[in-house]
Amino acid sequence: MTAPPHGIQDRLLSPPITDQLGRTFRDLRLSVTARCNLSCTYCIPESGSHAGNRSLRPEEYVERILRIHAESPLRSLRITGGEPTLYRHLPELIKGIKQAGIPAVHMTSNGLLLAPVVQSLRTAGLDRLNISLDAIDPEILRRIGRSPRADRVFAGIDATQQAGLPLKLNSTIYRGLNENQIVPLFKYAAARGITIRFLELMNMGHLHNSVSDYLVREPEILERISTVTAFRALPRAEASTARYFETPTGARFGIIANHSAPFCGDCDRLRMDAGGRLYGCLSEDYGLEFPQAMGNTLADREQVRRALRSLLAQKQPVRFRGSTLSMKSIGG
């Protein structure tokens, strides 16, 4: 991969840009592809398509990341999709992001293609993985993912642990499909020393107007887990999407409850889709094109800062209002 433009990675970072609530961008979510090898019920309608924006080359992403980082210093970057393991330049991209000075590089994957590549991703500089696992029962897993290969996720989980890469599991709960899997998922994760997070459905894409029909809220998730163990709530970290709980044996689980316990008030996330468009909030249906100027002048830098201010203004003050965008096109 070609080196970033001279002087960009070495110059002093600007003070963070903030809004009236004190929010700033510290975490970039980069969706490297809208393609996916699953068709999960909560993400894609039955007649849905996997088409999406073309992906950029690693150096094009890194160039944009450097310019964002210089104007709004990032603490972390999460690679998402679609399914990021379908992006053929993934190790090269991870290496470039680390060389750009981003302190922590994480990734979210469905796990199906992880087993043969996870060690190379760790070697490239990946710091942490989140793997989506929506059921323990293989038949339910295949029904959710609409794929006979959905249970390959277990091999991906095993390979990630064997590679020594820190791991969390994400489980999206969809009424009528997998609410009976909450306890088995918790037990599976606890037995392996893995933190699992249960996600309330988001009113996005084809669920934008019908999410309440399938929503399983935080109180019900907690009630189901309480049938097998006691637990206590842990303090919520600033800008965390999840509330975490710990059992007497030390097992931890979290809930990302965007309906029951909204977390917009201190959100610090910026999103970039596969084509390089920027989104300040998941509630926005349309992204912002990255500023055209790619020079190193003060005027060029100010273009990026103006774009970031505009994106920060997209953030909702209290509660996520939903979007017609599919999560696979903008990343989680």
**pLDDT above 70 for 1:** no
Condensed to tens digits (0 to 9), the pLDDT of residues 20-79 reads: 788 899 999 999 999 999 999 988 887 655 556 689 999 999 999 999 999 999 999 999
Q: Classify 329 in phi/psi space as left (phi over 0), alpha (psi -120 to 50) or beta.
A: alpha
Give the residue, 15 or 133, on which the prediction is more confident: 133
User: Which amino acid type is present at position 86?
Assistant: L
Dihedral angle over CA of 331, 53, 280, 257, nearest 10 = -20
Structural Rg of the chain based on CA atoms: 19
> Which of 36-50, 89-103, 139-153, 206-220 comes out lowest in average pLDDT?
36-50
Spatial contact of 150 and 191, defined as CB atoms under 8 Å apart: no
Instruction: Please give the C-alpha separations between residue 49 and each of 11, 38, 43, in angstroms, as whole numbers.
Output: 43, 11, 11
Q: Assess if residue 73 is contained within a domain.
A: yes
Q: Assess if residue 2 is contained within a domain.
A: no
Q: Assess if residue 311 is contained within a domain.
A: yes
Q: Assess if residue 188 is contained within a domain.
A: yes
Q: Assess if residue 65 is contained within a domain.
A: yes
**Residue 125, preceding peptide bond in cis (omega within 30° of 0):** no
CATH number at residue 190: 3.20.20.70
Mean pLDDT of 8-29: 76
DSSP state letters, 128-185: EEEEE---SSHHHHHHHHT-TTGGGHHHHHHHHHHTT--EEEEEE-BTTTSGGGHHHH
For residues 78-91, one letter each, b for 16 or more C-beta atoms within 10 angstroms of the residue's C-beta and e for the rest, the string is bbbbbbbbbbebbb
If one counts the domains in the chain, the total is: 1
> Which of 92-96, 128-132, 162-166, 311-315 comes out lowest in average pLDDT?
311-315
Among residues 47, 70, 108, 102, the alpha carbon closest in space to that of 327 is found at 108
Mean pLDDT of 149-176: 96
Q: Assess if residue 321 is contained within a domain.
A: yes
Condensed to tens digits (0 to 9), the pLDDT of residues 237-282 reads: 887 889 999 999 999 999 999 888 888 888 899 999 999 999 998 8
Q: Assess if residue 21 is contained within a domain.
A: no
Domain containing 89 equals: 27-330
Q: Assess if residue 294 is contained within a domain.
A: yes
Spatial contact of 39 and 146, defined as CB atoms under 8 Å apart: yes
